């Protein structure tokens, strides 16, 4: 039953089942959506799953008023931990009192975690507050890296909760290829065998893959062209790794090649000719993915060489100057990134990007020249590497 609903296209939607599926979604796996009306709304659930209430506001009508919602018949309760309201003792009692509940859920102001009871009971069963605090800490670091400082509405962190949820709909065989977790539309999905890592505080503080998937939620489309989607996401992973006090993954040696990402970058930069788009130039063997890591070194050099405020400034600049659809093509995005990175750094980065093999079109070179920026250090592309100067 709902009371106080607005008379506008915005309103309350009842959602049964999670919005998650890795790929090849099947209609039967989609959540059931029911538009609520003022007063009583009766419906029959066509699938299993938790019931959520989505109170949507498009921003084009008057602000939505508070409403009262109550379930008057049907459904069953699950253990629900609410940070700041539920004690650890109350949580343990809920788990004992509801042994048949198929799911458990934990929420804080910025995070929601949904897992099957079976997976949760196999985890260390740490205090939910500590798990939620750790995830909120990561989001806070990523907010800062992304320039979400609250200086304006444009630079305000999302009010939506980041939802980490166990994927209970994707066929298990889909995950046989080694999928650990995946990023969806403001949620992180995980097969059951891996969801337990997110419920273990000690693993969470070392879990690169969880930091990685969370980072996908912060990538800005306007400077994430096709070849670097799985590279720039690790700008955020490196940030979490550093905050947790771990050595940089850029210094970790690969078991099969014996090389670190820094070694791969140095090897690539030592070539007489370089093409940033040609992954073969960065690979030790033809069937690996070394280019993801070699390219990451370039993006980390921008942070190390230009300062910790470079990426917050870059994120803010892109939010203030979004690309239109016509310019969201890979080639245009690359040229725009070269220009904007130079603008934000207040340095001409032509030499740096040329060293890394990014093609700079004549129009871009002319525009950079008109900006009349001082040239960046000629050794910027050597930061952190043991290579000869050019």
- Express each pLDDT in 182-211 by its tens digit: 998 889 999 888 999 999 999 999 999 999
Spatial separation of the C-alpha atoms in residues 337 and 339, rounded to whole Å: 5
Spatial separation of the C-alpha atoms in residues 244 and 201, rounded to whole Å: 12
| DSSP code of residue 260 | -
| DSSP code of residue 228 | G
Residue 360 and residue 275 in contact, taking contact as beta carbons nearer than 8 Å: no
CB contact set of 216 (below 8 Å; sequence gap of 6+): 183, 233
Helix (H) or strand (E) holding 353: helix 350-355
CB contact set of 302 (below 8 Å; sequence gap of 6+): 310, 311, 341, 345
- The length of the chain in residues reads 390
Alpha helices in 184-258 (DSSP H): 192-198, 201-204, 208-216, 229-243
CA distances from 354 to 187, 276, 350, 361, 380 (A): 37, 9, 6, 11, 11
Helix (H) or strand (E) holding 275: none
Give the residues across from 116 on adjacent strands: 103
| CA 227-303-322 angle, 5° bins | 55
CB contact set of 344 (below 8 Å; sequence gap of 6+): 310, 313, 314, 317
Spatial separation of the C-alpha atoms in residues 88 and 78, rounded to whole Å: 16
Q: What is the pLDDT of residue 193?
A: 81
User: Could you say which residues of the chain have pLDDT below 70?
Assistant: 1-10, 21, 23-25, 58-61, 387-390
Q: What is the pLDDT of residue 169?
A: 85
Spatial separation of the C-alpha atoms in residues 126 and 358, rounded to whole Å: 47
User: What are the chain's domains?
Assistant: 1-75 (no CATH), 81-218 (3.40.390.80), 251-382 (1.10.390.30)
Q: Give me the DSSP letters along 25-85.
A: --GGGSPEEEE--SB------SS-S-EEEEEE--SSSSPPPP-EE---SS-----EEETTT
Give the residues across from 54 on adjacent strands: 13
Q: What is the pLDDT of residue 28?
A: 72
Any idea which residue has 């070392």 for tokens? 206
Q: What is the pLDDT of residue 5?
A: 59
| DSSP code of residue 178 | T
Spatial separation of the C-alpha atoms in residues 18 and 163, rounded to whole Å: 10
Cβ–Cβ contacts within 10 Å for residue 4, how many?
12
């Amino acid at each position: 039953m709902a009371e106080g609903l607005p008379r506008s296209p915005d309103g309350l939607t009842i959602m049964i089942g999670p919005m998650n599926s890795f790929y090849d979604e099947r209609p039967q796996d989609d959540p059931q959506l029911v538009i609520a009306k003022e007063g009583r709304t009766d419906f029959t659930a066509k699938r299993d799953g938790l019931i959520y209430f989505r109170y949507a506001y498009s921003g084009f009508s008057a602000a939505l008023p508070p409403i009262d919602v109550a379930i008057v018949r049907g459904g069953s309760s699950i253990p629900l931990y609410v940070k700041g309201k539920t004690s650890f003792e109350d949580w343990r009692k809920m788990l004992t009192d509801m042994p048949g509940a198929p799911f458990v859920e934990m929420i804080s102001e910025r995070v929601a975690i949904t897992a099957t009871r079976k997976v949760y009971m196999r985890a260390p069963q740490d205090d939910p507050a500590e798990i939620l605090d750790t995830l909120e800490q990561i989001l806070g670091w990523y907010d800062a890296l992304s320039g979400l400082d609250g200086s304006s509405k444009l630079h305000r962190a999302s009010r939506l909760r980041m939802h980490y949820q166990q994927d209970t709909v994707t066929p298990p065989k889909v995950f046989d290829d080694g999928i650990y977790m995946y990023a969806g539309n403001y949620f992180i999905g995980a097969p059951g065998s891996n969801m337990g890592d997110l419920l273990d505080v000690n693993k969470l503080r070392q879990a690169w893959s969880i930091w990685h998937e969370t980072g996908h939620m912060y990538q800005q489309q306007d400077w994430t062209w096709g070849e670097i989607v799985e590279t720039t996401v690790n700008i955020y992973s490196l940030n979490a790794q550093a905050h947790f006090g771990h050595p940089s993954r850029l210094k970790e040696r690969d078991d099969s090649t014996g090389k670190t990402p820094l070694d791969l970058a140095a090897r690539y930069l030592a070539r007489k000719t370089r093409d940033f788009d040609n992954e073969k130039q960065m690979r030790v063997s033809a069937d690996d993915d070394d280019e993801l890591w070699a390219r990451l070194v370039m993006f980390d050099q921008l942070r190390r060489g230009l300062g910790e405020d470079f990426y917050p400034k870059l994120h803010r600049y892109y939010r203030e100057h979004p690309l239109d659809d016509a310019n969201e093509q890979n080639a245009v995005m690359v040229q725009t990134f070269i220009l904007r990175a130079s603008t934000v750094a207040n340095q001409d980065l032509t030499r740096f990007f040329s060293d890394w093999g990014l093609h700079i079109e004549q129009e871009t070179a002319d525009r950079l020249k008109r900006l009349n920026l001082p040239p960046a250090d000629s050794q910027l592309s050597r930061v952190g590497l043991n290579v000869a100067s050019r």
